[in-house]
Amino acid sequence: MMTRIRKINDSLPGLLLGEIIFCILAGTVIFIFFDNKFYNSLGLLAGLAVAVFWAINMSMGLNDAVDRDESEAVKKMQRGTAVRYGIALIVLGILVLTGIGNPITAFVGMIGLKAAAYATPITDKIFRR
């Protein structure tokens, strides 16, 4: 499994680890400070799933775009961005319409990808040993 992830992008395992660590920390905050733990945790898990999809989709798109000429690469990246935002909107819409999870904590889970990106130099050291 790890070799398949590394084949997509060498930094992807560290990025995914950072996202998981972020969600564990956010989940801890949910369990300490929030009343409806299940509702908020489901939102956070939905956000984590979207963030993992974003990371993998972005890595695959970048690898593919590098092999294309400039105009095709731009179009490829724009399509990838539209897909990522579309998936996020669909997931948030499902959470809002069904009420099964908190869309705000889902957004926090999605934004955790940014925190994971900043932590990548640290998490990469774990995987490069």
How do residues 63-100 score in pLDDT, each as one tens digit?
A: 888 888 888 989 989 999 999 999 999 999 999 999 99
How do residues 112-121 score in pLDDT, each as one tens digit?
A: 999 998 988 8
Asked if the structure places residue 24 within a domain, the reply is yes
Asked if the structure places residue 52 within a domain, the reply is yes
Asked if the structure places residue 74 within a domain, the reply is yes
Asked if the structure places residue 72 within a domain, the reply is yes
Asked if the structure places residue 3 within a domain, the reply is no
How do residues 24-35 score in pLDDT, each as one tens digit?
A: 999 999 999 999
How many separate helices (H) and strands (E) can be counted in the chain?
5, 0
pLDDT for 103: 97
Beta carbons of 44 and 23 less than 8 angstroms apart: yes
Asked if the structure places residue 84 within a domain, the reply is yes
In 3-state terms, what secondary structure has residue 109? helix
Domain limits for position 23: 10-127
How do residues 3-22 score in pLDDT, each as one tens digit?
A: 777 777 777 888 888 999 99
Asked if the structure places residue 4 within a domain, the reply is no
CA pair distance 83, 79, nearest whole angstrom = 6
Our count of domains for the chain comes to 1
Question: For 38-67, what is the mean pLDDT?
Answer: 92
